[in-house]
Structure 1
Amino acid sequence: MSEPDPFDEIVDAETTSDPDLAVIEAGSRTLRTQSGPPPGDGIPARPADPEVDKALRAVEQELLGRWPETKLDPSLVRMEALLDLLGDPQRAYPSIHITGTNGKTSTARMIEALLGAFELRTGRYTSPHVQSITERISLNGAPIEAERFIEAYQDIKPYIDMTDAQQEHRLSFFEVLTGMAYAAFADAPVDVAVVEVGMGGSWDATNVMEAPVAVITPIALDHTDRLGDTPGEIAVEKSGIIKQGATVILAQQPVDAAQVMLKKAVETDATVAREGMEFGVGSREIAVGGQLLTLRGLGGEYEEIFLPLYGAHQAHNAAVALAAVEAFFGVGAQQAGLLDVELVRKAFASVLSPGRMEVVRSSPTVVLDAAHNPAGGQAAAAAITEAFGFSRLIGVVGTSGDKDVRGLLEAFEPIFAEVVVTQNSTHRAMSADDLAALAVEVFGDDRVVVEPRLDDALETAITLAEEEDEYAGAGVLVTGSVITVGEARLLLGRA
């Protein structure tokens, strides 16, 4: 299967030339006056140096001009050709490869934090980005600097041109970024790379390495037009990252998906560690700013782990991340015993996952969550109910048109008192009117407000949350798309 359409991937509102984004710039002047948590969240601002900013924008525009993957045949030929010219940088370091439907980026961030706590130099490649394209490539726990991002592109540009000239189709947006990441990791150099697939697994551009650890986060229905109509069908594609003799860290899965993964593991002589069997969440308690966990790893129990993220799903992501790092170090197989518990605690306490149940404003509280499919919506609904206990919750929802939008809305129906439907700035966005028609069917006419402009939608939701004293405990949840969350983040002054 092909990776996502590159236009699916671009969510940096500041770098597009779309004139509709004037609403973001205008709206931000109002919304940035509102109170909210301080910055320092791992999302880089635009470069302060005008020349660097100009150069970064130029690189972004060149990447945007690349062919959409939807026009390309499922193939690794182009990636393999590029990496061959680059000297196969992906072979210069071991990797942990992550696929699944939901939770990949949060799990990757946790794995990165754990490896860093053990003084390993790390590279992390994730997608899509929330606000800045440089978020996708991280070195030692921080997004790559703009200057280094530009250099990474310029360094491999001649080889991109050579590959383009040799192939039937040019390299795609995602393929070029993947090549940049692998080359940047080799140049750093890193001790280990943590790599998230773009979509699927077998034909994903990232799947050109022999990762000794393969991580499969929960599989659910998403991208069904490309990956399959059932979790089992989707698992066939995602199991493609399991390599000969690897260790597979398998999160809790639907039965048909688990069967596919276990069969693939047998075929590749891989070792499997299953959540709920070889590792898992021992216990969890709600805590101020997150949750307190006991995690059962491959080597034993790790107690009093504070995770500054909300929701049971993040606790399960933490268990998966810990098992992945234990497997990387050989715990549970060649090596017995726990990893250093204090280092594990320090690592998890430092984890950030922007745009995932993230509080960006107070009075009233505004939370952002990038849920974009029914499974993600159900996890977000459970998390916000458990962690915040709002007396009244207003939803702001902007989705892409190619998702199971009805399923997403149904996941939030029990918890939203009212929903403000809107749309983000990209061509993939479902129009506010079309979204409203679906929302009325799910919520009823009296609970749906339509505000096509995202800045107006945020203002309306905040006003609804503030309007009556009896709702002093009211909150706002912005959701439906990474793109919507990224643009809301910008409007609320978080970049």
Structure 2
Amino acid sequence: MPPAPDAAQREAARTLEVTKRMRHAEEAILARAPEHDLQPSLDRIQAVMELLGDPQRTFPVIHLTGTNGKTSTTRIIESLLRELGLKTGRFTSPHLHTMRERIAFSGQPISAERFLDAYEEVLPFVEMVDARSVADGGPPMTYFEVLVAVAYAAFADAPVDVAIVEVGLGGSWDATNVADGTVAVVTPIALDHQHFLGDDVESIATEKSGIVKPDAVAVVGVQEPEVAQILAERAHQVGARIAFEGNDFGLLTREVAVGGQQLSVRGLGGDYEELVLPLHGAHQAHNAALAIAAVEAFLGGGEQRLDPEVVRAGLAAAASPGRLEIVRRSPTVIVDAAHNPAGALALRTALEDSFTFARVIGVLAILKDKDATEMLEILEPVLDHVVVSRTTSPRAMRPDELGELATDIFGEERVTVVADLPDALDLAAGMADEGGLGGGVLATGSVTTAAEVRMLLGTTEV
């Protein structure tokens, strides 16, 4: 008889089996309609949740929407709550490297085993709802809807003390909105995804205001007056309290520091001094103020001051991969997931504010459904030269097309078109190094751009 497998062999076999099952699950989920191809409705996700026994109602939720800053604010809130000793679940999108990043427990991506347990729990009900929807002439559930179902089932099974949940798109009909947040956080609202959300900020704000639920506390970042009015009206309609940055809470001071910035913040329940945030840019400072107010609202209705030492530790531990993230030195390479004009403006401001490169070479790859022209115009003053390329995303704009737009804005001498991103990155790094002038590389244009450059440079931790 052959010898019985030892413990190491058994573990290797188990790991291989889990890897295979995870690959099959990912392939099945990816075969569904992608996030940008959807029919606005909560009917399908609500049906699955009801069949599962509404797991999203078994834990409290802090729910976030807005146009930019959602993921960073979500992660800062999570860091603060973890420092307070709570078991957290986090749901964000899109991911950088693996869909498991979207679902996190206590700051770490869900394990393959835990993901599979939740996926296999929800799959029969997803298939039932798919069949019913198709029979009625509707679509099966989307990629995003399935991941929301998996996340809520996993959070309930853990269980978590609180889930911090970022919407995927919009608010009212976003699949995450089957949960009712006790705190609704609204980061600054600007134009994006107009084909789904509307062609003006009022329409977009109306859609996003749908996450503000009865008896909740709405914590709102700096907004245009018309947006603030819409959010205030929504809070009044549903009987929610609302707190605005700049009125009820906000930044008191901010100074650029080594590796980030130092802040003092007026929260809803008190002031917090000498806070170190290891993230770059004024927009991240505002995200931190929003996060502190959200945690105050969650724990004491905004009426109690948090332990200042806990706040200091929570902010000091905050991270936001792919957001003004330095992923290499000599030359310095920064990746940023800016994918719309508002994000590009925050990026430009932060670059001017926090970095002192002798010259900056941009590596730009933008999706074809984005306002590339306005993004290029915003970034032009801070980029000495741009290397235009594309990512592997099927939504990526062709390099020659993006190059033409860039040439109109930067001039022919400041634009180079390189078809493949690895070659574009190598060329940009060489240009930044020329003459030993302390140059840097900025890779941006989409979440996919940030993710692929991170991976090319050997960074995959999140």
Match of 1:425 in 2: 392
Matched, 1:154 2:124: no
Match of 2:256 in 1: 286
Matched, 1:482 2:462: no
- Match runs of 1:70-469 below 5 Å: 72-168=38-134, 169-333=139-303, 336=304, 338-469=305-436
Query: Offset of 1:365 from its aligned partner?
Result: 0.3
Structure 2 letter corresponding to 1:261: L
Query: Offset of 1:376 from its aligned partner?
Result: 0.5
Match of 2:24 in 1: 58
Query: Offset of 1:438 from its aligned partner?
Result: 0.5
Query: Offset of 1:52 from its aligned partner?
Result: 2.9
CA distance in 1, matches of 2:79, 2:243: 21
Query: Offset of 1:463 from its aligned partner?
Result: 0.4
Match of 1:3 in 2: none
SS at match of 2:189: coil
TM-score of the pair, normalised by structure 2: 0.94
Structure 1 letter corresponding to 2:381: P
Query: Offset of 1:151 from its aligned partner?
Result: 1.9
Structure 1 unaligned segments of length 5 or more: list them.
1-46
TM-score of the pair, normalised by structure 1: 0.88
Structure 2 letter corresponding to 1:366: V
CA RMSD of aligned residues (A): 1.4
Query: Offset of 1:71 from its aligned partner?
Result: 5.8
Whether the 8 Å CA contact 2:62–2:182 is kept in 1: the answer is yes
CA distance in 1, matches of 2:324, 2:21: 33
SS at match of 2:45: helix
CA distance in 1, matches of 2:302, 2:53: 34
CA distance in 2, matches of 1:108, 1:482: 16
CA distance in 2, matches of 1:70, 1:288: 38
Match of 1:493 in 2: 458
Whether the 8 Å CA contact 2:186–2:221 is kept in 1: the answer is yes
Whether the 8 Å CA contact 1:368–1:478 is kept in 2: the answer is yes
Q: Which stretch of the first structure deviates more once superposed, 173-182 or 65-74?
A: 65-74
Query: Offset of 1:183 from its aligned partner?
Result: 0.3
CA distance in 2, matches of 1:167, 1:87: 20
Match of 2:4 in 1: none
SS at match of 1:477: strand
Q: Which stretch of the first structure deviates more once superposed, 54-63 or 431-440?
A: 54-63
Whether the 8 Å CA contact 1:110–1:318 is kept in 2: the answer is yes
Q: How many residues were matched structurally?
A: 444
Whether the 8 Å CA contact 1:294–1:303 is kept in 2: the answer is yes
CA distance in 2, matches of 1:143, 1:424: 24
Whether the 8 Å CA contact 1:233–1:257 is kept in 2: the answer is no
CA distance in 1, matches of 2:216, 2:396: 39
